[in-house]
Amino acid sequence: MNQDTSQPVVDSFGIDYTQPVFTQLESLGDRYWEWSHVHVTPAFRRELAAARPDAPYPDSFPIFAGKWFEAQTHIRWQHVLGVWGTVALACLIAGVTRPGFTVLGAAGWWAGGFLLWTLVEYFLHRVVFHKVPTSLLEVKFHFLAHGIHHKDPWDQTRLVFPILGAIGLASVLFGLFTALFEPGAALLLMSGLLAGYLAYDLGHFAWHHGKSDAAWFKYLKRYHLAHHYQDMNSRYGVSQPLWDWVFRSGNLRV
């Protein structure tokens, strides 16, 4: 990746955004949490683009020096839909065609998987992604998993979850399903869970970049943006506020 290193773009924390940020995290020390929640502004993004006009994503700061690793951090929502939509459909077909399932029974397993994802989404966001890191290893994990999104919530190619990371999580969950349930039920659960994941990831993109006059859309967009700009320690539900209501972790009125 070509970079114009003659024009450094440095913030008040001493991070140079024309250079790979991942290798600079150590310099932040105990200031990382504060730094990761100081949002990149439109003016800063324009300054960065002017400093790196030949970069593949000039207004998106580099994370890694290696071109292959850097490319994995830029994921478009169409890729997520294509990959996981196909897998979800394949699991659904494979599940419903196995003997012993009624339409109602299959729908129940699928709906259970969808609902389970909403719970996974909530606890990942609240317990894992919003745990304050206490070591450099935790800082690096947090930054790659979630910190980069809070740092730059409007980066379109770093908004949906990286496919390689999602493969790891999906493999663990499907392995658990197959250990606990018979194959047809495991496939239907996985299909519903992946559908829930798509609703989360594509909805998340839409809350930041989509437009609609529908009341439900406007509500969910306001709800999620309140997490970013009002109180990052509440409103952990991204696709919906169900579990925030259950666990009383966010004001549902926005």
| Ramachandran sector of residue 248 (left: φ over 0; alpha: ψ -120 to 50; beta: rest) | left
Quick one: pLDDT at residue 108? Answer: 96
Name which residue leads in pLDDT, 161 or 84.
84
The Cα–Cα gap between 218 and 234 comes to 19
Quick one: pLDDT at residue 6? Answer: 52
Domain segments of the chain: what residues?
1-74, 77-207
What is the percent of the chain with per-residue pLDDT over 90, rounded to a whole number? 87
pLDDT tens across 110-160, in order?
999 999 999 999 999 999 999 999 999 999 999 999 999 999 999 999 999
Helix axes 163-180, 77-96, angle to 10 degrees: 20
Per-residue confidence at 4, pLDDT binned at 50, 70, 90?
very low
The Cα–Cα gap between 234 and 68 comes to 35
Quick one: pLDDT at residue 99? Answer: 85
Average pLDDT over residues 27-50: 94
Q: Is 125 helix (H, G, I), strand (E, B) or coil?
A: helix
Per-residue confidence at 2, pLDDT binned at 50, 70, 90?
very low
Quick one: pLDDT at residue 145? Answer: 93
Specify which residues 10 forms β-bridges with.
16
Quick one: pLDDT at residue 183? Answer: 94
pTM: predicted TM-score of the whole model, two decimal places: 0.92
Q: Is 76 helix (H, G, I), strand (E, B) or coil?
A: coil
**Of the listed ranges 4-8, 182-186, 204-208, the one predicted with least confidence:** 4-8
- Tell me the HSE value of 213 on the side-chain side, using a 13 A CA sphere: 0
Per-residue confidence at 3, pLDDT binned at 50, 70, 90?
very low
pLDDT tens across 175-190, in order?
999 999 999 999 999 9
| Res 5 pLDDT > 60 | no
pLDDT tens across 41-84, in order?
989 999 999 999 889 999 899 999 999 999 999 999 999 999 99
- Let me know how many helices (H) and strands (E) the chain has, helices first: 11, 0
| Res 241 pLDDT > 90 | yes
| Res 237 pLDDT > 90 | yes
| Res 7 pLDDT > 50 | yes
CA distances 118 to 10, 42, 131, 137, 238, Å, are 38, 32, 19, 28, 9
Tokens linked to 248:
């009383």
| Res 1 pLDDT > 50 | no
Quick one: pLDDT at residue 164? Answer: 87
Quick one: pLDDT at residue 162? Answer: 87
Name which residue leads in pLDDT, 5 or 105.
105
